[in-house]
Amino acid sequence: MSIGIDCVVFPKMDKPYNPYRSKLYSPSELYAFDESGQCFDNKVYAHYLKYGKQSQDIAETLARSLHDHAILDALYDFLAQYDERNVVAIMGGHAMLRTDEVYRKVVNIAKRLTEQGKLLVSGGGPGAMEATHLGAWMAGRTEEEVENALSLLAVAPHYTDAKWLDVAFEVIKQYPQDVYKSVSIPTWLYGHEPSTPFATHITKLFANALREDELLTIAKGGIIYTPGSAGTMQEIFQDAVQNHYLSFGYSSPMAFLGVEHWMRTIPVYELLMTLKQSKKYQNLQLSISDEENEIVKTIVEFY
Helix 164-174 to helix 128-137 angle (10° resolution) is 20
CATH of the domain at 223: 3.40.50.450
Q: Would you say residue 1 has pLDDT above 80?
A: no
Q: Is residue 198 part of a domain?
A: yes
Whether the Cβ atoms of residue 79 and residue 218 lie closer than 8 Å to each other = yes
Residue 95 lies in a domain: yes
Residue 100 inside a domain? The answer is yes
Q: What is the mean pLDDT of residues 236-258?
A: 98
Q: Output the pLDDT for position 7.
A: 78
**Of the listed ranges 3-17, 110-124, 222-236, the one predicted with least confidence:** 3-17
Q: What confidence tier does 285 reach under pLDDT thresholds 50, 70, 90?
A: very high
CB atoms within 10 A of CB 59: 13
Asked if residue 61 belongs to a domain, the reply is no
Q: Which residues of 84-115 are buried (b: 16+ CB within 10 A; e: fewer)?
A: ebbbbbbbbbbbbbbebebbbbbbbbbbbbbe
> Mean pLDDT across the stretch 230-258?
97
3-state secondary structure of 198: coil
State percent of the chain over pLDDT 90.
94
Q: What are phi and psi of 124, to 5 degrees?
A: 80, 5
Residues 64-80 pLDDT 10s: 999 999 999 999 999 99
* Amino acid of residue 55: S
Number of domains observed in the structure of the chain: 1
pTM of the model: 0.95
Dihedral sign for Cα atoms in the order 256, 262, 267, 268: negative
Residues 142, 138: Cα–Cα separation, whole Å:
8
pLDDT at 3: 54
* pLDDT mean over 46-56: 97
pLDDT digits (tens, 9 = 90+) for 161-192: 999 999 999 999 999 999 999 999 999 999 99
From residue 55, alpha-carbon distances to 13, 50, 274 in Å are: 16, 9, 42
Does any domain span residue 8?
Answer: no
For 188, the domain range is 76-302
Residue 241 maps to a domain: yes
Per the document, the length of the chain is: 303
193 in a structural domain: yes
| H helix intervals, 35-141 | 40-51, 58-79, 101-115, 128-137
Residue 144 pLDDT > 90, yes or no?
yes
**Residue 153 carries which side chain, given as an amino acid letter?**
L
